[in-house]
Amino acid sequence: MIRLHGTFDLKDGISDASYSLAFAAFCAHLKAMNYVSDWTFARRVSHSGYERLPPESAYYSAIDFEDMAAAQACYDYVAADDEPIRSLHRAMNSIVDPASTRFFLTEALA
């Protein structure tokens, strides 16, 4: 499994619920197109015992792909910037602080 991880902050005045709806609509479309298998949206919580160099961003997201081929196909689909993914992607990204976003992929080894 390949997972796209993201850490970010929301723009001032944007609620968790607003982002959650936009993110879920984006991911549900990608799942309907058979690109993704699952997704997660969470808020970071502090705990002195668990934290060591935590990200500064308040929010975390993850999108799961079956394999690298699916991750690449999804990337290509979103990058093509055609409807309907264009509107879904922009609706989600328009409420995120762009200076705070960090993304990376991981591959499950077990």
- The enclosing domain of 80 has a CATH number of 3.30.70.100
Residue with token string 């705070």: 100
51 domain-assigned = no
In a domain, 97, yes or no: yes
How confident is the model at residue 55, as a pLDDT?
83
Q: Is residue 96 part of a domain?
A: yes
Q: Is 61 exposed, middle or buried (0-12, 13-18, 19+ CB in 10 A)?
A: buried
Considering the domain boundaries, does residue 90 fall inside one? Answer: yes
One digit per residue, pLDDT tens: the chain, 110 residues?
999 999 999 999 999 999 999 999 999 999 999 999 999 999 998 888 888 877 889 999 999 999 999 999 999 999 999 999 999 999 999 999 999 999 999 999 98
Q: Does a structural domain hold residue 50?
A: no
32 assigned to some structural domain:
yes
Residue 81: what pLDDT?
Answer: 97
Domain total for the chain?
1
The pTM (predicted TM-score) of the whole model is 0.92
Which strands, in side-by-side order, build the sheet including 59-65? 38-43, 59-65, 2-8, 102-107
The answer to whether the Cα torsion of 26, 104, 14, 91 is positive or negative is negative
Range of the domain at 83: 2-45+56-107
